[in-house]
Each structure stands twice: as structure tokens, then as C-alpha cells.
Amino acid sequence: MMRIVSVVGARPQFIKVAPIANAMPQGIDHLILHTGQHYDEEMSQIIFDELKIPRPIDNLKVGSGSHATQMSALLVSLENSFLKLAPDWILAYGDTNTTIAAALTAAKMNIRVAHLEAGLRSFNRKMPEEINRVVTDHLSDLLLAPSLTAMANLSKEGLQSKAVLVGDVMVDSIRSAEAILGSKVQKESGVPYLAATLHRAENTDDPERLTKLIGALASSPVPVRLVAHPRLVAKTREFDIPLSQGSILVEKPLSYLSMVELMLESVGVITDSGGLQKEAFLLKVPCVTLRTETEWVETLEGGWNTLDPDGDILSTRWWAHERGSADRTVYGDGRASERAIQAILVA
């Protein structure tokens, strides 16, 4: 029986493995291996429980640390696991340190690697995720691309022969979430608010930049419900920057469904996350992205997503402007997981 091992470790990967596990046909031995990059209950277990993700075969408990510390722990532990599990395929997700470590370990062991969410590029090598994406794509045997833009990026790097357009598995997830939430969502009731997240190293790790961005969120004319990633909380403590300022209401990390609901009921989303920008776009909620560029360029169409690296427009009623039309089918039809699995089976 073919054995596929999905290697996951960080929150966005749990959200992506859920529809894959769900779509896995009988006769495939699909195992989930958790690296333990994210370990807080609210960053990991809550998502597994809510999305009914099968229990991982193991948790490698690599934890946090500098890139070198985390990467070396990942490489050693993954090699041990792959030796024991003897997979036919490794499935790596997205762009975290868990992703690149899984691809590198497997490639060195001559185990075939498929990369889900291949071909995304910000063209900003200062982002750790960009290094992870480029290297993972070049190491992989099969590149499962979410969009035509991703396919074009892979082509430009000479990788087209390994690439398959399958669509984005996050569309699969968000469509199921919308179906579950259904009529529960009441956008018009209550006080209008913005839903916000901030966690990228480029934004959190420089005290001046972080002070500026928190100040911009605080200046909002309506409340900003800031769902605080542990990295943000750790960095504000380290730099002694107060998080509860002005319009900011600090909240703990939420489960996937609660986050989708928070976005659906908001008047707008402010984020530096890749996933959230795209989810806002799919849910037709206007978004401001606190970055200079985006990998998900299609979200910019019709003004649904605005790049504002310093948060300059956050003191205005930016969400109230009319938005243009945008093609929301660019990321697929909600059946990307089936196609991704099929692509592995025929590769």
C-alpha cells in the first residue's frame, strides 16, 4: 500500500492538512507527522480537535528557537522518523521551517516529495518564508500549484515539468467553514469592528517597526480586535511595548471556525498573514495587508486587498470605499485536495 506522510508543524499547515486527510481515498496509508514547531494548545490541539484531523503518528517536539536551532532539530528528528516510517511520498505544506526541513530531509534520503502550495513568490528574500518556498520547490519532485500565477512563477524557474495546477486547498477549507457557519453569521448586528493579526518576523522583530504598526492599529476609528499570535505577545513583552492601546482589543488565538466567523462579521481585515488576506478575499471582506508585497497578487483586484506596509491608512475609514469586481475562482473550485492527491497517485 502506498504510504504518504504529511509533515505539518505550524498552524496554517493544520488547516491545509484537514481537507487533504478528508479527501484521502481508501487504500492509501496516509500518516500525519507533527514536528511540534507550534506547541501551544491554542496554536495546535484546538485546530486538530475542531477540524477533526486524524491524530498524528508522532510529535517531534522541536519547539521554538533561532532558525539554525529549529532547523537542525527538525532535520535530525525528521530523518529518524522517515527511517522508521519508510514513506513512498512526503507531502510538505506551505512555507514554514517545517516545510523546507521536510523537503530537504526527504530529498537527501531519496524519498519523493510533493509540495502543496508550490510556486508562490513574494520576491523578497528578506522573508524567511521566501527562502523556504524557493528551496522547497527546487527540491521537490511534484509541485502542486494553487493558481496560474504560481504556475507561471514555477515556469520562470524552469520547474514547469514537475508542476500541476490543482487549486488552493484553503478554498476547500473555507467553503466547508462557510457551510458550517451558515446563517449564524450576523454582519449587521452589533458594533462595527476590524479583525486584525500581526505576526511576521519583518513586522514584529524590529522594535521601531512594531511600535509604529501597533500605533497605526490603535489609531483606527473603530475597534480593532487583534487576535494575538504568541510571537507578537513575546516581542511586545521583550521590547516593552503596550499592546492594549487606543482602539486595540487584544484577543487570544482563535480556532479556525471562530477566526472565519470573526472575519465574516467584521467590516474589514488587517493582517500580515498570507492565509488571512486570501480568506478575506474569498469571503468578500476588504483587507489591508501590512506588507510591501503579496504572494497572493490576485487579491489586489478590485481593491479588495490594499498593501499598506506602515499602516498609514488605518486611521481612516478605509473599508467603507466601494470595491470593484474580482474573479474569486482564481484559486480553484474547492476540490483542490482531491486533485492534489490524484496528482501524487499518478506521478
Identity of the residue, 66 or 325, whose beta carbon is nearer to ligand UD1 in the bound complex = 66
Binding segment for ligand UD1 among 78-86, 89-97, 189-197, 208-216 (CB under 6 A)?
A: 89-97
- Grid coordinates given for 85: 516510517
Cβ within 8 Å of residue 206, ≥6 positions away? none
- Taking the C-alpha atoms of residue 8 and residue 73, their distance in angstroms, rounded to an integer, is 15
Active site residue 30: no
Identity of the residue, 212 or 231, whose beta carbon is nearer to ligand UD1 in the bound complex = 231
For position 137 contacting ligand UD1 by CB under 6 A, the verdict is: no
Identity of the residue, 39 or 239, whose beta carbon is nearer to ligand UD1 in the bound complex = 39
Contact 267, 194 (CB under 8 A): yes
- Taking CB under 6 A as the rule, which mask of x and - marks residues 191-220 in contact with ligand UD1? --------x---------------------
DSSP character string of 267-311? SEEEE--HHHHHHHHHTT--EEE-SS--S-GGGGGGGSEEE-TT-
Cβ within 8 Å of residue 346, ≥6 positions away? none
Considering the complex, what minimum distance in angstroms separates the CB of residue 56 from ligand UD1? 15
Q: Which of 4, 6, 7, 12 binds ligand UD1 (CB under 6 A)?
A: 12
Residue 104 DSSP SS3: helix
Residues numbered 15-74 forming contacts with ligand UD1, rule: CB under 6 A: 37-40, 43, 64
Catalytic residue among 34, 38, 115, 199: 199
For position 11 contacting ligand UD1 by CB under 6 A, the verdict is: yes
# chain residues binding ligand UD1, by CB under 6 A: 19
For position 231 contacting ligand UD1 by CB under 6 A, the verdict is: yes
Q: Which of 6, 95, 283, 336 binds ligand UD1 (CB under 6 A)?
A: 95
- Taking the C-alpha atoms of residue 319 and residue 120, their distance in angstroms, rounded to an integer, is 27
- Grid coordinates given for 34: 507533527
CA torsion angle for 67, 73, 75, 80 (degrees, to 10)?
-170
Q: Which residues are catalytic?
A: 199
Please report, as ranges, the residues that interact with ligand UD1 according to CB under 6 A.
10-12, 37-40, 43, 64, 95-97, 128-129, 199, 229-231, 234
